[in-house]
Amino acid sequence: MVNIEKTGNVEIVRFTINKINALVTDDIREQVKKLFEHAGSKVILDLTGVEYIDSTGFSCLLSCYRESKNNYGTLKISSPEPPVRKLFELLHLNTVFDISSDTDSCIRSFR
């Protein structure tokens, strides 16, 4: 469902699924929550290949964002597919999340 790799001091979460919905949000939330066990963690959710996120998926992303803030960490999003980017904009979540068009620029933004 997710693969986590580390580049420098940044954890990158990549998805092996194309939909983030009620069937997978609990697992995603738990895995991302573990990344914020240490204060100051830096995490990128790479949404490459994720074509759809439902309301429970956005709730999960917001929960992960709150977890990051509670532990003085940073959560950013990279590479949303066009339909997913439109949903972020429609829900005005592009004002909440720091969203980059690609993972490399997202990693650089931590510097």
pLDDT tens, 2-25? 999 999 999 999 999 999 999 999
pLDDT for 54 beyond 90: yes
Record: fold of 2-108: Transcription Regulator spoIIAA (3.30.750)
Rounded Cα distance, 59 and 22, in Å:
10
Mean pLDDT of 92-111: 95
Residue partners of 52: CB distance under 8 A and separation at least 6: 18, 19, 20, 21, 83, 84
Mean pLDDT of 28-56: 96
Per-residue pLDDT band for 111 (boundaries 50, 70, 90) equals confident
Q: What pLDDT is recorded for position 39? A: 93
